[in-house]
Structure 1
């Protein structure tokens, strides 16, 4: 191709255009020693896995215990719940590190259990027993799978603005829990003992994060825990009773109670509550995976929504298995994952397999679990505080990376203010019948619902888009060009702006049909994939979406970001990428399982 099909630029002219713009350099996480697909040494894997276990196990077991006590179950069921929770968390952790069919995030994901279903579990057990609870959790898991499958269709509703706001609200919700743990010390301990232990832990950990030599980074969490435990022992607040009480080996009796296959009225009354909590969990899971993908790379890439969908499918499987076992559902602990990766510099997914094996062993050896449960609460509170701070910043970055214009600022501001306000004072609790007041007055639910509602409102009140369906082939370029001309004429654009819109459309098609993509140009057969183009006016700009079924691995947004870091010699295959970046003010490429969506914004 020596000449552009509609612009008339020669190859030399196209090369000259490339020099008129430059891209911002891609941020680099230079502290990352091992990326997800790089295998770290067995020693590093073992050390990092231990630190992940130390972070997640006490909190996960505590949530299981609270769930069992809140639902009024006996000690035998408690033993079964802890055992099955560790097994399920281990299975899902290994699955998240993998990429098996549609399942798996392909990243290190530290899994735990979520407390969000505890109030609903109490209601379900009182209404219909363990069988009804299991049935409700199975339906919730199916709903989780449906959200993952329909994620491309939900892209304008569950946006980075929504997930980022939810991440920030989670941090706000957990923060008081961190501070409460500072005061959880045995009776008779010095008044300031808990605070002193927490400060020692927090100080040592922060110093290690900021200034530890590269060789010491993988050990930073263990050193922080050790310093806190030493301080606790010196102040007399180290309780070893859980270690003495735990047996060496234990395999409990199976506690599965079966499913309720004849749903009663109580089932249908509780189902909407379970689906609401599941939706919030899914939104949180989306934000979690965005954070994990970003912190795991030396050179952060555009979010891979195929891996995000795989993570949601894995989370849904965790909900399904947990429901059948009668334990709180497995859930990603992205704040802990981000902390482990940032503090150790290790994001290799083979660490996830090591964590999974350790969890399976710990499930069979309660004595080791008991040893980890002796970690003083102030030490855990200090680490949780550190993780929550990092988590809040990741939520902010999720929003900012998507572009923060005035409308998004209002959406985030109103949603966060309402969510944080309801977290401090639930004004619905006394206005609605229990448990609806508690459920709908939850800060995360209110914030997420507000953000979604405002997004839906913006979509409904935006100008309607114009659509064109063609083959993903250069032979249909004249139809695309005519469509772009008509759209520009309807928006009363100048000839120069019209030319820019047409050129952006051509270069997007050319970029999708690069020789190394899954669908080279010039096929023109009946099997040629379809391409849907939707153009929507947005003030003084046009938002274009190119929706196709490409299966190639390359992300156009990443390719555009890396162009300025290559040598100055121009490869003809790169010209379309460079010109696209020249004509468009922004390019977003979302790769889903079985679908690619390229969003291009062109200013008038």
Structure 2
């Protein structure tokens, strides 16, 4: 089968077995990506007691968001098989918010109330932005999008490497056992990802983490005590931890919502290509507008359910391309599977058992691939002098504040918090330079005198 061949189009309705098989592939491709941000945030901020509920709500929000995005409710949702999931882009900013509250002596509930509060109000940024797609087309370029995604990937690699060595503040940090286990998981994932069998490639991260956890069990590195006395079902409790808000902590989150809207536009464009839909004209812009609005609404729902912002997952575009199945019915099956998974807190507690080196070995690959994806987008158009200058300055500023964090310590708190994140610093620099630097393609031709 040609990878570009569409066996079942958007409006087609394949049978139950075909729909469920395709849906399971989508779930396998995105499951780890959905739960990993929550595991990382909980690990860094010491929220282990809340992990089962947070994971359940992340899966439930993914199911609800995927249904809204796929089915389309009025003007909300692209109508494509666009699987939603917890966004990696917010990780560094959310950890900053949580760490700030924790340093003040805040409890776990206080930390979650602040993180979920700024995410709730930040979702309105993307909701409003979706209505101005025509006005922001100038800054939605491969250069700005690529720079932002590269900064996201690089900023998260430190988190993955820290987990691979044992986790933050681990007693045996950097031990031979931790490094061997983490690198072993990394090698397993690389091996299966290089296989010609598509099922093995899709399941590479899942297989690597499963094998790593089994090895860790025999090494005495797993603890199953958290599985005791768990409820059978997890009932959603809106705003369970309360809601809080501070402007200086909100601004970096708001800016990242802007960047994720740009990223979503790219993912939905690729999805449209695989579904043989036009990527120009008013119908295309309407689809992108509805998709970004769907992202914003789904992030709003996620905050209410007590989980972190949602975004459109790009990895599921590869599943559509590989299977040739672009049916909206499959998207509804994906949503149903995720919602069922979200009702059982046992899943969240089981994931909590995964040792940090295993998690680090898997996430290091994912984070590095995020950066590589940004490089691919960045190089999709020529890196002329203007684009090279924008890229160099943006990444220089973003990586600079990541490496020398106290460089912004003397700034006002709202500005310091905004620029502490390498993602927001790199993205802001790229947008500003894209606006003020003349585009060479449209620059006037120099006038020369004739002899």
Structure 2 length-normalised TM: 0.76
Q: Is 2:55–2:348's contact at 8 Å kept on the other side of the alignment?
A: no
The correspondence for 2:86, drawn from 88, 92, 112, is: 112
Q: Distance in 2 between matches of 1:405 and 1:48?
A: 38
Considering Cα pairs closer than 8 Å and 6+ residues apart, tell me whether 1 or 2 has the greater RCO. Answer: 2
Once the 2 structures are TM-superposed, how far is the Cα of residue 290 of structure 1 from its aligned partner? 1.4
Once the 2 structures are TM-superposed, how far is the Cα of residue 253 of structure 1 from its aligned partner? 5.3
1:311 match: 291
1:150 match: 132
Q: Distance in 1 between matches of 2:153 and 2:61?
A: 25
Once the 2 structures are TM-superposed, how far is the Cα of residue 172 of structure 1 from its aligned partner? 0.6
Q: Distance in 2 between matches of 1:131 and 1:218?
A: 35
Secondary structure in 1 aligned to 2:139?
coil
Quickly say closer, same or farther: Cα 1:329–1:47, change in 2 above 3 A.
closer
More helix by percentage: 2
The correspondence for 2:190, drawn from 203, 206, 218, is: 206
Listed one character per residue, the Cα deviations across residues 18-65 of structure 1 (whole Å, up to 9, x for unaligned) are xxxxxxxxxx99499978847654234225414532442243255367
The correspondence for 1:356, drawn from 335, 340, 343, is: 335
Once the 2 structures are TM-superposed, how far is the Cα of residue 169 of structure 1 from its aligned partner? 0.5
1:90 match: 63
Matched, 1:175 2:154: no
Once the 2 structures are TM-superposed, how far is the Cα of residue 153 of structure 1 from its aligned partner? 0.5
Matched, 1:330 2:318: no
The correspondence for 2:74, drawn from 101, 106, 117, is: 101
When the two chains are superposed, the root-mean-square deviation of aligned CA atoms in Å is 4.3
The correspondence for 2:372, drawn from 383, 389, 393, is: 393
Q: Distance in 2 between matches of 1:380 and 1:135?
A: 28
Structure 1 length-normalised TM: 0.59
Q: Distance in 2 between matches of 1:290 and 1:367?
A: 35
Once the 2 structures are TM-superposed, how far is the Cα of residue 122 of structure 1 from its aligned partner? 7.8
Secondary structure in 2 aligned to 1:111?
strand
Once the 2 structures are TM-superposed, how far is the Cα of residue 78 of structure 1 from its aligned partner? 7.5
2:409 match: 430
More strand by percentage: 1
1:159 match: 141
Q: Distance in 2 between matches of 1:68 and 1:156?
A: 41
2:444 match: 539
1:593 match: none
Listed one character per residue, the Cα deviations across residues 268-293 of structure 1 (whole Å, up to 9, x for unaligned) are xx446524522322213322441464
1:457 match: 436
Secondary structure in 2 aligned to 1:375?
coil
Q: Distance in 1 between matches of 2:38 and 2:330?
A: 19
Once the 2 structures are TM-superposed, how far is the Cα of residue 339 of structure 1 from its aligned partner? 8.1
1:85-484 residue pairs with structure 2 within 5 A?
A: 85-105=58-78, 106-112=80-86, 114-115=90-91, 116-117=93-94, 119-120=96-97, 139-184=121-166, 191-214=175-198, 216-244=200-228, 246-251=230-235, 254-255=238-239, 270-271=246-247, 274-291=250-267, 293-294=269-270, 302=279, 304-325=284-305, 327-332=307-312, 334=314, 337=316, 352-434=331-413, 436-458=415-437
Quickly say closer, same or farther: Cα 1:31–1:409, change in 2 above 3 A.
same
Listed one character per residue, the Cα deviations across residues 426-466 of structure 1 (whole Å, up to 9, x for unaligned) are 2433212445423323211111111111112126xx79xxx
| Unaligned runs of at least 5 residues, structure 2 | 447-451
Equivalenced residue count is 425
Q: Is 1:163–1:284's contact at 8 Å kept on the other side of the alignment?
A: no
Q: Is 1:201–1:225's contact at 8 Å kept on the other side of the alignment?
A: yes
Q: Is 1:80–1:253's contact at 8 Å kept on the other side of the alignment?
A: no
Secondary structure in 1 aligned to 2:86?
strand
1:565-580 residue pairs with structure 2 within 5 A?
A: none
Secondary structure in 2 aligned to 1:408?
helix
Once the 2 structures are TM-superposed, how far is the Cα of residue 417 of structure 1 from its aligned partner? 1.5
